[in-house]
Amino acid sequence: MEAPQRFIQLISEGKLKEVKEWLIEASYGDCDNASDIRIETDPRGEYQGDGEYCLQDVLSTKMGCYAFEGTYYHKIEGQEKYIAYDYYLDA
């Protein structure tokens, strides 16, 4: 899902409430702990479709996977820029 252009201004001003609410909705509730929300021009990781990318690490022990952490990118409408944020999810 592409992010609204107005988020560029909100992020630059540190007004993140609306941006975080949108991220939670766009991720179906999975990124309620999004941190370091920023604008980037070069997404990294695997293409997820709809202009989204994900660079994810699996955290595990000998007992198996216990969490995922990484950076997720949403393309911004009409821009060659992305909203990027870091996340952590329990498995």
* Distance, CA of 68 to CA of 49 (rounded, Å): 20
CA distances from residue 63 to 59, 60, 85, 91 in whole angstroms, order as listed? 11, 7, 29, 13
Residues 6+ apart with CB under 8 A from 34: 20, 23, 24, 85, 86, 87
Q: Is the dihedral of CA 12, 10, 70, 75 positive or negative?
A: negative
Structure tokens belonging to residue 32: 């309620």
41-71 pLDDT tens trace: 999 999 999 999 999 999 998 888 889 999 9
| Residue percentage of the chain with pLDDT more than 70 | 100
pTM of the predicted protein model: 0.90
The domains of the chain are located at 6-90
Q: Are 2 and 74 in contact (CB under 8 A)?
A: yes
